[in-house]
Structures are given as structure tokens and as C-alpha cells.
Amino acid sequence: MNDIPECKVSLWIVGDTLNPDELAEWLGCAPAYQARKGDTYYTDEGEEMVASTGRFQLTTGWHTGKPLERLIGELLDRVPDDAALWDRINTSLSGDVFCGLIMGGANEETKLSTDTLQALACRGLSLHLDIYDSADGPIS
């Protein structure tokens, strides 16, 4: 089976009460991006914005030729699988694994094993798939 030629996987945890420093300590890793609700930040275009909620993000970055399932596994390996910890996180925050997928052509496919789906479920993480056709041009 062919796999999606280019993909990026990110773990997003969001919530109004999110404390990025505390979450980094709990998860044992520093985020690629973080904000508390009300923080000021700048878009890639330089526009000043105010965070409407807190956000903590880990990411694999864009990869070519690496299976989606492997990227999800590598990302989840960076955070604990402790059910009690994820119950505490999911009490006031919500998380999902965001997958940006760029297809090389029509009718491409990939699949996730039950082990990967279980790893997401035991952490209370939803799966978000954002799929693009390579003809749409580059994604930043």
C-alpha cells in the first residue's frame, strides 16, 4: 500500500486554564509553540493577535516519504502514556493529534493500526486529518 508522500503531525493541547510551563513539566518536553489565554503573539504576516485560549503544541515538522503512522508514533513516544496524567490533563484541557497530509495524486491512502489508535485513545486525544492535493501548491 502506498502512503501519503508528505505529512506533518502535531499534538495540540488547548484550554483557557492551560499553563504551558506546568504542562511542559508534566509531559517532560518543551513545546514548539505555547501561549496562555490573553498572550499577545504575531502571525507569520506580522499581524498582532491575542490568544483566545491557551495552546501547547509539539510537532514533527514536514516529512517526505515517512509513513503517517511512524510520525504519530514518534510524536507519542515524546510524551508519557500514563493514564492518570492524561486524565488530569483532560479534566480541564483538550488535545488532538493534527495531521497535515499532502497527497501526490488522486486516490492515495494510508491506514493506522489498532495499536496507534489505542495509543491516541488511552491519552484521550482525537485525530484531526487535514488533507491537501499537491496541485494546490506548497503549504507553509
Q: What is the pLDDT of residue 81?
A: 94
Q: What is the pLDDT of residue 15?
A: 98
Residue 59: φ, ψ to 5°? -150, 155
Q: What is the pLDDT of residue 89?
A: 97
DSSP 9-77: EEEEEEETT--HHHHHHHHTS--SEEE-TT-EEE-TT--EEE-SSEEEEEE---EES--HHHHHHHHHH
Q: What is the pLDDT of residue 1?
A: 42
Q: What is the pLDDT of residue 140?
A: 54
Positions in the chain whose pLDDT score sits under 50: 1
Question: Where are the chain's structural domains?
Answer: 6-136
